Amino acid sequence: MTIATADVERVFRESGALREGHFILASGRHSPLYLEKFQVLQRPAETERLCSAIAAWARSLEVETVAGPTTGGIILAHEVARQLGVRAIYAERRDGASGREFRRGFALAPGERVLVVDDIMTTGGSVQETIDAVRVAGATVAGASVLVDRSGGAARLEVPLHALWRLDIPSYPAAECPLCAKGVPAMHPGTTSARLGAPR
């Protein structure tokens, strides 16, 4: 099943996932808009529909496993894998180090074909870290798919990439943020208001 870009946008808007304000993203960049994916992922029927579009795209890739980064990627990996009839695993951040790794007994066989999925791609960091974890395990990344690519084309992955919605949302390095210059209070999404420089 495919899904129109307008339908993906409708799901995000009607669920209240598209928020306006001054946000500090996981990448450290600042943005006037934020997509709160869990407002979408809390809705199983909508999540199933979005994942069915990813699964439809991935069927020709002959994947054996679907992998996603924590945390939203867990939900997506599970649902896409269910629809493809394969297993789902997830990659967690390394303790005290950069990158991600598979824990909890997750293992990949040499050459095993893996689809990497994630929710919102801003810089591509979480997706790339999951791709790297798959490759370190000796498996093959068949492709990657995200609900929303908000990278503006800046994310460069060396695998086939599929996005249900491509959205150009401005983001700025902290030192160049116009909202900071205006003194607009910043928030870490998913938390309460936080002053710049305060711990998360």
CA angle 198, 101, 52 (to 5 degrees): 95
Lowest-confidence range among 52-56, 122-126, 137-141?
122-126
- Judged by phi (left if over 0) then psi (alpha if -120 to 50, else beta), residue 94 lies in beta
C-alpha 65 chain-centroid distance: 17
- Please check the confidence at residue 163 and state whether its pLDDT lies above 70: yes
Percent of the chain topping pLDDT 90: 77
Task: Give me the torsion for CA of 152, 141, 162, 71, rounded to 10°.
Answer: -70
- At 24, list the tokens: 């500090």
Residues in the chain: 200
26 contact partners, CB below 8 Å, separation of at least 6:
122, 125, 126
Which band of pLDDT confidence, cut at 50, 70 and 90, is reported for residue 2?
A: confident
Shortest CA distance to 9 belongs to which of 32, 40, 52, 33?
40
* Segment 61-90 mean pLDDT: 97
* Higher pLDDT, residue 198 or 134: 134
pLDDT over 50 at 175, yes or no: yes
Region 126-135 average pLDDT: 96
Beta-sheet strand order (sheet of 100-102): 100-102, 87-93, 65-69, 113-121, 140-149, 161-166
**Quick check: helix, strand or coil at residue 131?**
helix
Q: Is 35 helix (H, G, I), strand (E, B) or coil?
A: strand
pLDDT at 122: 84
Residue 192 pLDDT class (50, 70, 90 cuts): very low
The SS3 assignment for 111 reads coil
Confidence of residue 200 (pLDDT cuts 50, 70, 90): very low
Instruction: Identify the structural domains of the chain with CATH numbers, from first to last.
Output: 5-181 (3.40.50.2020)
d(CA 70, CA 189): 16
In this prediction the pTM is 0.86
Distances (CA, A) of 112 to 40, 47, 94, 105: 31, 26, 22, 16
User: DSSP string spanning 7-46?
Assistant: HHHHHHHHTT-EEEEEEE-TTS-EEEEEE-THHHHT-HHH
Give pLDDT, residue 8.
96
Q: Provide the mean pLDDT of the chain.
A: 91
Main-chain dihedrals φ then ψ at residue 187, nearest 5 degrees: -125, 145
- Per-residue pLDDT, averaged over 61-72, amounts to 96
